[in-house]
Chains A and B, each alone.
Chain A
Amino acid sequence: MMGMRLPAKIGEWIKRDKKIHFTFEGQEYFGYEGDTITSALLAAGVKVLGRSFKYHRPRGVLSLANHDINALVTDGVDTNIRADVVKLVNGMQLQAVNTDGGVIKDKRKYIDSISPLLPVGFYYKAFHKPASLFPFWEKLIRKAAGLGIVNFNFPRINKRKLNDFCDVLVIGAGPSGLSAALSAASNGLEVILVDENQYIGGTLTYDHAGQDTSQQILKDLVASVLDHSSIKIYSGAYAAGYYQDHMVPVVTDQGITKVRAKAVIVATGAFEQPPVFHNNDLPGVMLGSAAQRMIHRYAVKPFNIGVVVTANDHGYRVALDLVNAGVEVSALVDMRPKPKQDAQVDALVGKGVQVYTGYCIYEALPVKGKLGVSGALVCPYDEETATADIKNAVRIECDGVAMSAGWAPAGALLYQSGMGVAYRNDIQQFVPNRLPKGVFAAGRVNGVFSLDGRMNDGLRAAAEASNFLGKQVNVVSVAEHQGVSPSHPYPFVHHPKGKNFVDFDEDIQIKDFINAAKEGFDNIELMKRFTTVGMGPSQGKHSNMNAIRILAKIRNLPVEKIGSTTARPFFHPTPMGHLGGRSFHSHRLTSLHAWHQAAGACFVDVGAWSRPAYYQKAGLSRLENIQQESLAVRQSVGIIDSSTLGKVEVCGPDAAEFLERFYTGVYADQKIGRSRYVLLLDELGVMVDDGIATRLADEQFFVTMSTANAPAVYREMQRWLQIWKLNVTLVNVTGAYGVINVAGPKAAKVLSKLVSLDLSEAALPMGRSAKTEMNGVSLRIVRAAFVAKQAYEIYMPSPYALSIWKALLEAGKEEGICPFGTDTQRLLRLELGHPLPGIDTDGLTNPFEMRADHALNMDKPFFIGKRSLEIIAKKPLTKVLVPFVLAENYKGEIPQDCNLIIENGAIKGRVTSISYSPSAKRIIGLAYVAPHQSQLGSVFDIRTDNGSLAKATVVTAPFFNAD
């Protein structure tokens, strides 16, 4: 292989004194520091860098700018490395992706010859019947098509996330971005300048047209920017997306920096779009800008004898750069009919370049195995019909083709910010015509192409951004576009054999669009999804504009009527390690958590809390554990950590008034030390939550709420307090107090060993609370009957919860005191017939359906939901929650939560809770049924999961003899 490295030249990005060794497909090569993988391979004369996604066609360089993925390589566990832009590292062992037997000998290359059998979407059509065989075909197809194979041993790499802030973020450091950054900084603004290339300068670093005048401009601009203390540069970094209020994640090898700006100037330039002709994908056929990048950035000669095909004036600049680099340019083929006449043409002709005006490349001629170019078949071209006159074909020998046809604005970030676009016919390009506040566009993305114009447009955008940020500066004007269009409206050459590629990622040809339109997918969004154009890893960067032009032609509509698809963030695919965060799930643990763990608790998440569901005993199933724990509570005594209960102190002169408005009951006359049930509705009269309010003092209530609902209930308290403006202070003491519930017939006996309080029924009946102390710790004990008739909720400051818990266990040893979890608690409360908000209610349940009328005081002037209940009360009930049992000897399929109540084939309700109760020795539950089914003794049918009907009978709760 012949080396293609050019002699050292000014402005090259490589450091020739630093050699880097690597292998590609088993062969040893070297490059220099500053080379990308692709540039080093090209310098070594390697042309075939990869195989295409679908047809396994050999591919070489197309854009050398991450606008295509012809060159994807694997290095060890890492794959889909974008060789065009990834820096060469010593010791890399690279393989092309998606080959069977290497990039040259790929055994799947035969697929290219059967491609007529494999049109777009063929697998959906061919293999959808019988459905049972699709997995077989899918496996084959997935193996044949695709990218690199993901290695599941890839190490977990967390990249850092940083934040940065500035006044103006300038994205793109070409002539317009550099001018904008300098100007904004000189207006006294802090500027961040981002560019995806290793060095700033944009087109100035490669588009020279055979001259070095732009070199001086570049040198001056870069020197001023580097010198300016208010400009911070992120090079080798891409702006990955635009998020609201000017937040832009900037991605580098090291990770993501989230940049928050006050204004953003987008000077991202344009993507070169290939003209489309037969075999335009052969290795050696490349975009003009790619050839220029090769020459000027990496000092690599793109080919030895070349043809330039162009449909704009840029091709002439490319030809001049090629000639200057020592390439023998045998022909310049201009697809436009009107001859260009200026100094550039004269210069080229002077160098012996033959200019064909009104000609196209009909096809690029391959060498054996399509591993390169042997020549170009050049024919007269009819611009109107996009066809070649092959009778007058000329064969031109060459080993490479550079192609220029036009540009697509790199407008992804602008689209994401909410830009509106218009299509300008003078430049054949979409340009912004409406930008959100604080977002500005400059340069080619804004439709400005001349070098002077772009620098001016940068100044204009900087002035507008400065004024947006409160400066007062004059806004320069930018001259209108002069001369011919930089983009051709239809640079396509039809060919009976196809293989004229539009999207190189996905092997999509012109005929695929025509077929898609014939099948009815003739809207740009539908066409994109049917053909998958722009859906590959380069996300339409080199194909989207051509796809729009083709569809416009097919539908005979102007381009602006077709519109454009937009690219979502991220701008380039970004490694997962950059995106993945650390696990910041806030878990709340009670002060007894370590004890629970040591005791074998199986935990369950309840809201933010981690709670024991039950305690695992050796050899028992989950259900057996729960049943044993429940029997302990029924027969003796159990103990549960209820510290997760929401707890709020409502204090102040209006505390009682606040509760009266917030909850459904009466609290004004509540005596100090007494507890009352509280029921919260929303404004629709729907059940939200319940709990207990204990009056601690005249102006102080202690309110509990269910664990999962507590944050929302507390928020609602805060909202209504702000609306009502009552003289109340809310203190959320959820974490401050631990709660231990001692329950069961022996509960009083155990408790009495530790406290001097009189626990008799007369002294501490249901709903009463009392202060006491245990081992010098102040406690409040509330007699509550949620899980058992004899049950005491003990409140203590959280730090003392563990000592009290242990003291209770010690005191209860003789009675076999048994810790139980929330799953057991749910069974226990079900046995008592207590519905749970959120379990036995849904987003529509009103208190009448729950038979909670007793908790409503409709005589109060106001409570949340009261007005709605007045309306609901006038209407007949449609469902009622009832306790039910199955027959004692029930042997059929066991009904589950949410099974439906069926009557004559119609749905009447559903089961909300169901369980086997070892105390009742049968299956018990709660269900919504039609009102006529709700009388005591009524029998209704539950449809079980297997379709059989289970007979259930309405009973009264509790389900067992609680005394």
Chain B
Amino acid sequence: MKLLNCPMNGVRPLSEFLFGGEFREMPNPDASTDLEWASYVHYRDNAPGIKKEWWYHSPSGTWFIAERNTLTDEVLATYLHGNSPVSKVKEPS
């Protein structure tokens, strides 16, 4: 079973976590076009690579971001939202 490092609780087995989907920075709803907004809510490229993901540690109720290589299933960093170290994720251009 995989291990995940919860930023609040340390390394715990995967069975204590829930996956919360890919993390994407919300564009400004007032400034974005309909197309930009639709792309934010609908579009996922699904290409393997390093992704930011939401994960939830159920017993403690902690949401955090994991940067994970979806090709190798390697987790490179975990942190609370807003506490990002230097990100390894290439932002889509």
Is B18 part of the contact surface with A, judged by Cβ < 8 Å? yes
Residues on B with beta carbons closer than 8 Å to the beta carbon of A943:
none
How distant is the Cα of A92 from the Cα of B80 in the complex, in angstroms? 60
Residues on A with beta carbons closer than 8 Å to the beta carbon of B38:
871
Residues on A with beta carbons closer than 8 Å to the beta carbon of B41:
683-684, 868
Task: State how many residues of chain B have any CB contact under 8 Å with chain A.
Answer: 25
Is B20 part of the contact surface with A, judged by Cβ < 8 Å? yes
How distant is the Cα of A725 from the Cα of B81 in the complex, in angstroms? 10
Q: Which of A245, A418, A436, A723 makes the CB contact (< 8 A) with B1?
A: A245
How distant is the Cα of A15 from the Cα of B1 in the complex, in angstroms? 41
Interface string of A699-729 (1 = CB under 8 A from B): 0000000000000000100110011010000
Residues on A with beta carbons closer than 8 Å to the beta carbon of B82:
722-723, 725
Interface string of A837-870 (1 = CB under 8 A from B): 0000000000000000000000001100011101
Is A311 part of the contact surface with B, judged by Cβ < 8 Å? no
Residues on A with beta carbons closer than 8 Å to the beta carbon of B59:
none
Asked whether, in the complex, the Cβ of A245 is within 8 Å of the Cβ of B29, the reply is no
Is A756 part of the contact surface with B, judged by Cβ < 8 Å? no
Asked whether, in the complex, the Cβ of A871 is within 8 Å of the Cβ of B34, the reply is yes
Asked whether, in the complex, the Cβ of B1 is within 8 Å of the Cβ of A715, the reply is no
How distant is the Cα of A659 from the Cα of B73 in the complex, in angstroms? 37
Is B61 part of the contact surface with A, judged by Cβ < 8 Å? yes
Asked whether, in the complex, the Cβ of A867 is within 8 Å of the Cβ of B3, the reply is no
Residues on B with beta carbons closer than 8 Å to the beta carbon of A868:
37, 41
Shortest Cβ gap from A19 to chain B (Å): 45
Q: Which of A437, A718, A866 makes the CB contact (< 8 A) with B29?
A: A866
B14, B40, B61, most chain A CB atoms within 10 A: B61
Q: Which of B1, B37, B81 makes the CB contact (< 8 A) with A243?
A: B1
Asked whether, in the complex, the Cβ of B37 is within 8 Å of the Cβ of A244, the reply is no
Asked whether, in the complex, the Cβ of A244 is within 8 Å of the Cβ of B73, the reply is yes
Interface string of A179-214 (1 = CB under 8 A from B): 000000000000000000000000000000000000
Interface string of B36-59 (1 = CB under 8 A from A): 011011100000000000101000
Is B90 part of the contact surface with A, judged by Cβ < 8 Å? no
Asked whether, in the complex, the Cβ of B2 is within 8 Å of the Cβ of A245, the reply is yes
Asked whether, in the complex, the Cβ of A862 is within 8 Å of the Cβ of B29, the reply is yes
Residues on A with beta carbons closer than 8 Å to the beta carbon of B2:
243-245
Asked whether, in the complex, the Cβ of B1 is within 8 Å of the Cβ of A722, the reply is no
Shortest Cβ gap from A651 to chain B (Å): 15
Closest to A244 in B: B2
How distant is the Cα of A436 from the Cα of B41 in the complex, in angstroms? 35
Is A247 part of the contact surface with B, judged by Cβ < 8 Å? yes
Asked whether, in the complex, the Cβ of A719 is within 8 Å of the Cβ of B54, the reply is yes
Residues on B with beta carbons closer than 8 Å to the beta carbon of A247:
1
Q: A243-B1, A722-B81, A723-B81 are in contact. Are A715 and B18 (CB under 8 A)?
A: yes
How distant is the Cα of A723 from the Cα of B80 in the complex, in angstroms? 10
Interface string of A862-895 (1 = CB under 8 A from B): 1000111011000000000000000000000000
How distant is the Cα of A719 from the Cα of B1 in the complex, in angstroms? 25
How distant is the Cα of A244 from the Cα of B11 in the complex, in angstroms? 14
Shortest Cβ gap from B42 to chain A (Å): 8
Asked whether, in the complex, the Cβ of A722 is within 8 Å of the Cβ of B20, the reply is no
How distant is the Cα of A719 from the Cα of B3 in the complex, in angstroms? 22
Closest to A723 in B: B81
Asked whether, in the complex, the Cβ of B54 is within 8 Å of the Cβ of A244, the reply is no
Asked whether, in the complex, the Cβ of B29 is within 8 Å of the Cβ of A867, the reply is yes
Residues on B with beta carbons closer than 8 Å to the beta carbon of A871:
34, 37-38
Asked whether, in the complex, the Cβ of B61 is within 8 Å of the Cβ of A719, the reply is no
Q: Which of B37, B40, B63, B73 makes the CB contact (< 8 A) with A722?
A: B63
Asked whether, in the complex, the Cβ of B61 is within 8 Å of the Cβ of A718, the reply is yes
Closest to A719 in B: B63
How distant is the Cα of A868 from the Cα of B14 in the complex, in angstroms? 33
Residues on B with beta carbons closer than 8 Å to the beta carbon of A722:
63, 80-82
Q: A715-B18, A867-B29, A867-B37 are in contact. Are A244 and B81 (CB under 8 A)?
A: no
Closest to B75 in A: A245
Residues on A with beta carbons closer than 8 Å to the beta carbon of B73:
244
Q: Which of B34, B37, B63 makes the CB contact (< 8 A) with A718?
A: B63
How distant is the Cα of A867 from the Cα of B39 in the complex, in angstroms? 12
Residues on A with beta carbons closer than 8 Å to the beta carbon of B54:
719
How distant is the Cα of A437 from the Cα of B73 in the complex, in angstroms? 12
How distant is the Cα of A436 from the Cα of B37 in the complex, in angstroms? 39
Residues on A with beta carbons closer than 8 Å to the beta carbon of B1:
243-245, 247
How distant is the Cα of A725 from the Cα of B2 in the complex, in angstroms? 30
Closest to B32 in A: A867
How distant is the Cα of A866 from the Cα of B80 in the complex, in angstroms? 26
CB under 8 Å from chain A, chain B span 52-82: 54, 56, 61, 63, 72-74, 80-82
How distant is the Cα of A243 from the Cα of B2 in the complex, in angstroms? 7
Residues on B with beta carbons closer than 8 Å to the beta carbon of A244:
1-3, 14, 73
Q: A244-B73, A723-B81, A725-B82 are in contact. Are A715 and B29 (CB under 8 A)?
A: no
How distant is the Cα of A866 from the Cα of B29 in the complex, in angstroms? 9
Shortest Cβ gap from B60 to chain A (Å): 10
Closest to B33 in A: A871
How distant is the Cα of A871 from the Cα of B63 in the complex, in angstroms? 29
Closest to A682 in B: B41
Residues on A with beta carbons closer than 8 Å to the beta carbon of B32:
867
CB under 8 Å from chain B, chain A span 244-297: 244-245, 247
How distant is the Cα of A683 from the Cα of B20 in the complex, in angstroms? 14
Q: A244-B73, A871-B37, A871-B38 are in contact. Are A715 and B3 (CB under 8 A)?
A: no
Q: Which of B37, B40, B56, B72 makes the CB contact (< 8 A) with A715?
A: B56
How distant is the Cα of A693 from the Cα of B2 in the complex, in angstroms? 39
Shortest Cβ gap from A239 to chain B (Å): 15
Shortest Cβ gap from B48 to chain A (Å): 14
How distant is the Cα of A772 from the Cα of B3 in the complex, in angstroms? 50
How distant is the Cα of A243 from the Cα of B32 in the complex, in angstroms? 44
How distant is the Cα of A718 from the Cα of B61 in the complex, in angstroms? 8
Closest to A684 in B: B41
Residues on A with beta carbons closer than 8 Å to the beta carbon of B80:
722
Shortest Cβ gap from B63 to chain A (Å): 5
Closest to A683 in B: B41
How distant is the Cα of A684 from the Cα of B21 in the complex, in angstroms? 14
Shortest Cβ gap from A874 to chain B (Å): 8
Shortest Cβ gap from A469 to chain B (Å): 16
Asked whether, in the complex, the Cβ of B3 is within 8 Å of the Cβ of A245, the reply is yes
Interface string of A116-130 (1 = CB under 8 A from B): 000000000000000
Shortest Cβ gap from A399 to chain B (Å): 51
Closest to B62 in A: A718
How distant is the Cα of A437 from the Cα of B69 in the complex, in angstroms? 14
Closest to B14 in A: A244
How distant is the Cα of A403 from the Cα of B18 in the complex, in angstroms? 53
How distant is the Cα of A861 from the Cα of B31 in the complex, in angstroms? 12
Shortest Cβ gap from A650 to chain B (Å): 15
Closest to B37 in A: A867
Interface string of B15-26 (1 = CB under 8 A from A): 000101000000
How distant is the Cα of A436 from the Cα of B73 in the complex, in angstroms? 11
How distant is the Cα of A867 from the Cα of B35 in the complex, in angstroms? 11
Closest to B73 in A: A244
How distant is the Cα of A581 from the Cα of B40 in the complex, in angstroms? 42
CB under 8 Å from chain B, chain A span 370-428: 418
Closest to A725 in B: B82
Residues on A with beta carbons closer than 8 Å to the beta carbon of B29:
862, 866-867
How distant is the Cα of A861 from the Cα of B61 in the complex, in angstroms? 28
Closest to A861 in B: B30
CB under 8 Å from chain B, chain A span 786-819: none
Q: Which B residues have a C-beta under 8 Å from some C-beta of A?
A: 1-3, 14, 18, 20, 29-30, 32, 34, 37-38, 40-42, 54, 56, 61, 63, 72-74, 80-82
Q: Which A residues have a C-beta under 8 Å from some C-beta of B?
A: 243-245, 247, 418, 436-437, 683-684, 715, 718-719, 722-723, 725, 861-862, 866-868, 870-871
A684-B42, A870-B34 known, 12 other contacts, Cβ within 8 Å: A243-B1, A243-B2, A244-B2, A418-B72, A715-B63, A718-B63, A719-B56, A722-B63, A722-B81, A722-B82, A862-B29, A871-B37
**Selected A-B contacts with CB under 8 Å, 6 pairs:** A245-B2, A437-B74, A715-B61, A722-B80, A723-B81, A862-B29
Closest 3 CB pairs of A and B: A867-B29, A244-B2, A245-B3
